[in-house]
Amino acid sequence: MLPGRRGRGRSRARGAHRRAQGPAAEGRRHVKALIPAAGTGTRLRPHTHNKPKALLPVAGKPILGHIIDDLLQAGVDEVVLIIGYCGDAVRAWAAGAYPGLPVTCVEQSERLGLGHAVWTARDAIGDAPFFCILGDTIVKTDYRRLLADPHNCIAVREVADPRRFGVVEMRDGAVLRFVEKPEVPPSNLAIVGAYLLRDAPRLWAAMDRIVAEDRRTRGEYQLTDGLQAMLAGGCRFSVQTVGEWYDCGKRETWLETNRALLDADPAAAAAAPGVAPPCLVAPGARVSRSRLGPHVVVGAGAVIEDCDLTDTIVGDGAEVRRCRLAGSLIGERAIVTGVDGSVNVGDDSEVAADRRDP
């Protein structure tokens, strides 16, 4: 899909990458963000056969592009990416989409949990306060609110079933405990994957001990265990509730996130002949004799002919002809012909329901 930020915002001047421990510009606070993006995204195959989950397109740009753009609005001026699966693709995308932003890529050679991923970046982050934002989740909040908090701050949201998440237990407004995916949750406050961590040295010390002692929860080194050790050691924590939190970890939630972000995007609201907003059609795409929308994204260079599409993402360079589709995901350069219903097609694939082989 479209790389980076679709060119709507002010571009940053090209500059050399700085070392993570380099000095901040005079008179300006230096803010780093750590984004773990090493996951394989097995539940999103076939789309993750050849690209990492963080680079999957949603509402006109990669998931990682939404995260970084929101962080830049909060004043972040340096990013550390934890990479693993298809790491070279993440590195190349970041360099092309954000040429003036210092980006350091740290490889997590083994997938041993979120705590291990964050701990892997300890040298790149250093001892200064930093954001940590998960690379497969879009949290629509004002990160400046977290940055203004004087304590370590965890973004949370009430959920109906918190057993699938890290959970925060509170009493009288104070954080009592962090627990990872509890069978009997002490509260319904789920950790949504956005953190401001001010006591970085205390986190590194806690994770050093956890890794050295091989203390795993559910088979992995958990960040919640590191946070709990910090809390037990006297670090102060607060929470901030967020309103919008989008998970892109499954096909259904990927499309749900696409719908929500299009609904909120003024650029997607423009009406046009044959288009029921919200929709985004990238420059270079060709649409003829078709009806699009609502909630359709067409990537750069794609061709849509004689189609009726709703709730569908069409990748760059894809060709879709004589189709009536809803709830569909079509990869880059894929060819889909004569399908009525729903498809889930990866990059460089072909589906031709009305093809007649000789």
Alpha-carbon Rg for the chain, nearest whole angstrom, is 21
198 and 59 within one domain: yes
Cα–Cα distance, 20 to 146 (Å, whole number): 21
Which of 189, 212, 247 is the last residue in one of the domains? 247
Q: Is residue 5 part of a domain?
A: no
Q: Is residue 100 part of a domain?
A: yes
For position 109, what pLDDT does the model report? 84
Q: Is residue 291 part of a domain?
A: yes
Q: Which residues contact 151 (CB under 8 A, 6 or more apart)?
A: 198, 236, 237, 238
Q: Is residue 1 part of a domain?
A: no
Structure confidence by residue, pLDDT tens digits, 76-98: 999 999 998 888 999 999 999 99
281 and 201 within one domain: no
Cα–Cα distance, 181 to 343 (Å, whole number): 33
pTM above 0.75, yes or no: yes
Summary mean pLDDT of the chain: 86
CB 107 within 8 A of CB 63: no
182 and 101 within one domain: yes
Q: Above 50 in pLDDT, residue 273?
A: yes
Q: Above 70 in pLDDT, residue 342?
A: yes
282 and 178 within one domain: no
For position 153, what pLDDT does the model report? 93
Query: Does residue 352 or residue 204 have the better pLDDT?
Result: 204
339 and 200 within one domain: no
Structure confidence by residue, pLDDT tens digits, 174-190: 888 888 888 887 888 88
Q: Is residue 27 part of a domain?
A: no
CB 345 within 8 A of CB 329: yes
Most confident range (mean pLDDT) of 72-76, 106-110, 205-209 is 205-209
Q: Model confidence at 28, in pLDDT bands (50, 70, 90)? A: low
301 and 234 within one domain: no
Q: What is the mean pLDDT of residues 125-136?
A: 93
Please state whether beta strands 174-180 and 166-171 pair in parallel, antiparallel, or not at all (unpaired). Answer: antiparallel
CATH number at residue 304: 2.160.10.10
For position 234, what pLDDT does the model report? 92
340 and 238 within one domain: no
CATH number at residue 202: 3.90.550.10
Q: Is residue 288 part of a domain?
A: yes
For position 317, what pLDDT does the model report? 96
For position 249, what pLDDT does the model report? 80
192 and 281 within one domain: no
For position 142, what pLDDT does the model report? 84
317 and 199 within one domain: no
Q: Is residue 227 part of a domain?
A: yes
Structure confidence by residue, pLDDT tens digits, 141-174: 888 888 888 999 999 988 888 888 888 888 888 8
217 and 168 within one domain: yes
> Which of 186, 149, 146 is closest to 169 using CA atoms?
186
290 and 182 within one domain: no
Q: How many helices (H) and strands (E) does the chain have?
A: 8, 25
Domain interval for residue 346: 273-352
298 and 152 within one domain: no
Which of 229, 247, 265 is the last residue in one of the domains? 247
Cα–Cα distance, 108 to 221 (Å, whole number): 13
Domains in the chain, number: 2
Which of 247, 282, 298 is the last residue in one of the domains? 247
What residue type is assigned to position 20 of the chain?
Answer: A
Preceding amide of 3 cis, omega within 30: no
β-pair partners for 140: 244
Q: Model confidence at 23, in pLDDT bands (50, 70, 90)? A: very low
